[in-house]
């Protein structure tokens, strides 16, 4: 199956679901990204700043670039001129730095709060209590150049369907709670980014609005 065939498969799977595809392009060269673009992909996900910054100028300007990997505050300045959504927001400090750098470019950068939903110590993200703390803080209220549009999570790497379902439900629950408490009047707060090559079907069943798929489109990395 070609990249185009794989993308068309996902486009068909997602038609009418309200869920969109983030094509995860990490480690792949620009010519593969162009192949994906030509087959209709417009949301691209990268996990490393350096790689995203190197590829972005080589590709059409109507691509939405999503950063899906951990972001250090000292690297925000490199993506601030063009990044569409930073899916990996895990601190107030990071939000404040995005505010500062996006303001310099007179832009509003969208962001998702990343939650820790996996039962693995290594996977990063916020707890629900930490998210409440951020959203109640005065510094958060003062942000003008970063807009939170939802939540993101990476589930445990396991074939256990019940566990995956529990983790996706937990993330959806976090989304619903935050939506009701802080974003009820903001229709833009609507994204639940969950589901990857191995578990996207379950994620869609559990209400995902953004699946992040790499291997099932480009093959093994």
Ligand X SMILES: *Cc1c(COP(=O)(O)O)cnc(C)c1O
181 in the Ramachandran plot: left (φ > 0), alpha (ψ -120 to 50) or beta?
alpha
Among 8, 13, 64, 69, binds ligand X (CB under 6 A): 69
Look at residue 115 and give its three-state secondary structure. strand
Binding map of ligand X across residues 81-120, x = CB under 6 A, - = no contact? ----------------------------------------
Size of the site for ligand X (CB under 6 A): 14
Binding to ligand X by residue 134, rule CB under 6 A? no
List the structure tokens of 154.
């990476």
Residues 190-209 that bind ligand X (CB under 6 A): 196-198
Of the pair 23, 56, the CB lying nearest ligand X is at 23
Q: What are phi and psi of 124, to 5 degrees?
A: -85, 175
Residues sharing a CB contact under 8 Å with residue 82, sequence separation 6 or more, in sequence order:
56, 65
Taking the CA of residue 181 as centre, how many other CA atoms within 13 Å lie in the half-sphere pointing to its CB?
13
Q: How far apart are CA 132 and CA 126, in angstroms?
A: 10
Other CB atoms within 10 A of residue 160 CB:
10
Closest distance to ligand X from the beta carbon of 163 (Å): 17
Is the CB of residue 183 less than 8 Å from the CB of residue 189? yes
Q: Which is nearer to ligand X, 112 or 148 (CB)?
A: 112
Q: What are phi and psi of 43, to 5 degrees?
A: -105, 115
Pick the binder of ligand X from 47, 56, 149, 209 (CB under 6 A). 47
213 lies in the binding site for ligand X (CB under 6 A):
yes
Residue 214 binds ligand X, judged by CB under 6 A: yes
Nearer to ligand X, 102 or 112 (CB): 112
* Sole window of 8-16, 33-41, 125-133, 213-221 interacting with ligand X (rule: CB under 6 A): 213-221
Footprint of ligand X (CB under 6 A): 24, 26, 47, 68-69, 154, 196-198, 212-216
């Amino acid at each position: 199956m070609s990249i185009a065939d794989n993308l068309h498969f996902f486009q068909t799977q997602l038609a009418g679901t309200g869920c969109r595809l983030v094509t995860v392009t990490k480690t792949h060269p620009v010519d593969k990204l162009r192949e994906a673009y030509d087959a209709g992909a417009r949301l691209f996900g990268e996990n490393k700043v350096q790689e995203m910054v190197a590829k972005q100028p080589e590709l059409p300007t109507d691509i939405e670039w999503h950063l899906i990997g951990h972001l250090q505050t000292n690297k925000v300045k490199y993506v601030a001129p063009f990044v569409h959504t930073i899916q990996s927001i895990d601190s107030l400090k990071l939000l404040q730095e995005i505010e500062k750098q996006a303001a310099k470019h007179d832009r509003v950068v969208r962001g998702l709060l990343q939650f820790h939903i996996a039962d693995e110590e290594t996977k990063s993200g916020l707890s629900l209590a930490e998210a409440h703390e951020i959203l109640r803080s005065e510094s958060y209220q003062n942000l003008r150049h970063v807009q939170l549009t939802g939540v993101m999570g990476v589930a445990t790497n396991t074939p256990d369907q019940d566990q995956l379902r529990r983790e996706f439900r937990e993330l959806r629950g976090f989304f619903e709670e935050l939506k009701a408490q802080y974003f009820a009047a903001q229709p833009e707060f609507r994204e639940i980014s969950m589901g990857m090559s191995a578990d996207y079907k379950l994620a869609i069943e559990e209400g995902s609005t953004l699946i992040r798929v790499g291997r099932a489109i480009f093959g093994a990395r």
